[in-house]
Structure formats: C-alpha cells, structure tokens
C-alpha cells in the first residue's frame, strides 16, 4: 500500500520526515506531544503506555458567539482625528483614536479546547521495553509501539479529512490481548457524558459566553473479537484482537443539530474497514503535501537524532 501511494504522488517518499522518540511525552509538557489534525478537528498525542492521552480541539469551540465590536463613536470622531494629524498634532490624534476607534469591548472572544480523550490499557502491566513513538509526515499518522509481558503492542492515530473523524487503532501480535477503558472528558467544563448504545459515548457541553457554541463529541469502538460494555461514563473493551476507535465532534456554529452531525460522521466512517480509512486519509493528505518540497541542510551528526531518551522499565 505505501509503495503504491508513494508512486501516485509522482515523487519518492522522504524517509527523513519522521519525528521519533523513545519515551512518551511528559504529561506536563504539551509541546512534547505529537500533533494530528485535518484543519477542523485536531489532537495532541502524548503516547503514554498505560494511559494514552489525546488533547482534543475543534475549530468552532468558542467561548461566545459572533458580536459587533465596532466602536459606536468611531464615525463621529474620525474627522477630528484627521484634523489633528494634518495640523501636526499626532500625539493628540493617537490618544483620541485609541478612545474612539478601538473595538468595544476591547477583548475578543477566546477559543477553547474541545476536551480530552483517555484510553487506559488494562490488559498489561506498566513494565515495557522497546518503546517508540513517532509522527510520520509522509502520511500524517502518529504511531506508538512497545513490548509488554512478551507481547508487541502498536497504535496508529490520525485525523481523516475525507471522513472528518479521528481514527485510533490498537493492535497486538497475539490474539485477545487488547483490553482498554475509554473516557472522554473536559474536567468540570462539560454538562454530561451519555451512553450511545451499543458502543459509544457522547460528551455534551456549552461554551459559557453569550451565544457560545453548544458542542458534542462522540467516540465509538469497533472491537475485533472480545466484549464491549458501557458503564457510567466509560467504554470498556476486553480481550479483543484489535480495536478501532472513531471520534467525531460538532458544534452549533456549523450544525443546527450537532448530535446528529456527530452520529452521521461516525456511522459513515464505521461502514469502512480500517485499512480503507487509512488508505483514503493518506491519499488525500499526500495530494496536498506532495505538491512541494523544502530542503534544509543539516549536519550528518544530527541525522536520525533521537528526540527523547532511551527507556526501559516503567513508563507512564
């Protein structure tokens, strides 16, 4: 698959376009997480072993709605500001302009995060080896892999512009080894998380300013084998061979009914196999990414330099 996609772009894939690390991101250091997104929906992947944390963003989650910040006194004082400038009194003109031309209120609405997705790996211990996490800029896929209890575990995470969902894939090299607990939250800044039977959770919330966005985010699991249960605000998968999680988000900025929008995006993506979701995501991404190239010279000693430190034993 990779070779075919590479040929379709008309140029060789750059094997150096990988950001890779041998330890998870520090939970307190947001800049160490790996970014994924499609221009509307995004996430920061921390790559924890026991608990994968993805900080979520959706571009229309704003504190308040649209508002008119034009200063009502601007037109009245504009001639006087011009007169002061033309008469050689720029300092006075500036003082008056600050009062009459500045937006009211002075501050703009502020952007807010969508929330946090936590996936706790409940099927193995904390002692791991051969840990690796990476973001491959050739295909816009974040990956995490490690060995625990003699089993090799792998994850792939990306956000599809084609299907408008975040896709998370959890696998192991032995059957029945994927057990996990999924939670979607926003600390205390959401209204509730409700069950979406048979395999999903929907987070509901409202951004507090006047006219602020009403938001929804739906996460649903597609296990291969094993069992699935919804208990409280958690989604539990036990002893699966592999699991695909699909996450969507929508707000009233774009959708009159964000509940229906979230369900429609997840249900449409769920009709595709994981490899199809990934293949279409990579093809669409490379159609844009492969239109140009940028070469920055570097010392040979820096090539392939690990951005993290070697890890062994217990990782968070």
* Geometric angle at alpha carbon 73, from 110 and 210, rounded to 5°: 30
* pLDDT tens per residue, range 120-137: 999 888 789 999 999 999
Clarify whether residues 91 and 194 are in a common domain. Answer: no
Give the sign of the dihedral formed by CA 138, CA 277, CA 45, CA 225: negative
117 and 56 in contact (C-beta within 8 Å)?
A: yes
Split into its structural domains, the chain has a count of: 2
Within-domain flag for 297: no
> Is-contact 228 221, C-beta < 8 A?
yes
Both 216 and 193 in one domain: the answer is yes
Tokens of 237: 């998968």
Query: What is the separation of C-alpha 294 from the centre of its chain, rounded to a whole number of angstroms?
Result: 25
Distance in angstroms (rounded) separating the CA atoms of residues 286 and 136: 12
d(CA 287, CA 290): 6
pLDDT for position 125 = 82
Confidence of residue 301 (pLDDT cuts 50, 70, 90): low
Cβ neighbours for 74, distance < 8 A, ≥ 6 positions apart: 100, 101
Task: Kindly state whether residues 135 and 254 are assigned to the same domain.
Answer: yes
Regarding whether 157 and 101 lie in a shared domain, the answer is: no
Compute the distance between CA of residue 282 and CA of residue 312 in angstroms, rounded to an integer. 32
Does 94 reside within a domain?
A: yes
Classify residue 83: in a domain, yes or no.
yes
Whether pLDDT at 311 is above 50:
no
pLDDT, greater one: 31 or 304: 31
**199 within domain boundaries:** yes
Whether pLDDT at 268 is above 50: yes
Examine the domain organization and report whether 8 and 50 are in the same domain: yes
Provide the β-strand partners of residue 227.
238
Whether 178 and 221 map to the same domain: the answer is: yes
Q: Give the C-alpha separation, 168 to 15, whole Å.
A: 23
Last residue of a domain, one of 108, 131, 165: 108
pLDDT 10s digits, 237-263: 999 999 999 999 999 999 999 999 999
- The reply to whether 221 falls in a domain is yes
DSSP structure class, residue 11? S
- 185: domain CATH number is 2.70.98.50
Range of the domain at 163: 2-63+112-292
The three-state secondary structure class of 306 is coil
- Residue 208: which of 106, 105, 109, 104 has the closest Cα? 109
Q: Which of 67-71, 212-216, 234-238, 304-308 has the lowest mean pLDDT?
A: 304-308
- CA nearest neighbour of 108 among 65, 56, 57: 65
Dihedral sign for Cα 274, 277, 280, 282, please.
negative
pLDDT at 3 over 50: no
Residue 142 counted as domain residue: yes
Query: Comparing 196 with 300, which gets the higher pLDDT?
Result: 196
Mean pLDDT, residues 298-304 taken together: 64
């Amino acid at each position: 698959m990779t070779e075919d996609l590479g040929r379709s772009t008309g140029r060789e894939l750059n094997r150096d376009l990988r950001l890779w690390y041998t330890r998870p991101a520090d939970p307190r250091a947001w800049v160490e997480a790996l970014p994924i997104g499609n221009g509307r929906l995004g996430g920061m992947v921390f790559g924890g072993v026991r608990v994968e944390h993805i900080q979520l963003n959706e571009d229309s989650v704003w504190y308040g709605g649209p508002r008119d910040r034009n200063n009502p006194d601007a037109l009245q004082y504009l001639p006087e500001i011009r007169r002061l400038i033309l008469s050689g009194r720029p300092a006075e003109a500036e003082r008056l302009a600050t009062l009459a031309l500045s937006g009211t209120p002075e501050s703009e609405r502020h952007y807010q995060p969508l929330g946090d997705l936590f996936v706790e790996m409940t099927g193995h211990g904390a002692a791991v080896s051969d840990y690796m996490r990476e973001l491959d800029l050739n295909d816009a896929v974040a990956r995490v892999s490690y060995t625990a209890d003699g089993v090799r575990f792998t994850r792939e995470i990306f956000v599809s512009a084609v299907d408008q969902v975040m896709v998370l894939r959890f696998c192991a090299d032995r059957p029945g080894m994927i057990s996990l607990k999924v939670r979607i939250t926003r600390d205390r800044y959401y209204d509730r998380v409700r069950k979406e039977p048979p395999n999903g959770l929907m987070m509901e919330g409202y951004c507090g300013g006047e006219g602020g966005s009403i938001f929804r985010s739906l996460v649903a699991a597609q296990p291969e084998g094993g069992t699935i249960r919804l208990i409280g605000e958690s989604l539990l998968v036990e002893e699966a061979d592999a699991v695909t999680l699909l996450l969507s988000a929508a707000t009233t900025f774009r959708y009159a009914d964000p509940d229906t929008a979230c369900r429609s995006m997840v249900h449409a993506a769920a009709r595709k196999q994981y490899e199809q979701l990934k293949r279409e995501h990579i093809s669409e991404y490379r159609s844009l990414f492969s239109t140009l190239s940028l070469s920055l010279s570097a010392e040979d000693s820096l090539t392939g330099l690990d951005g993290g430190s070697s890890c062994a034993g217990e990782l968070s």
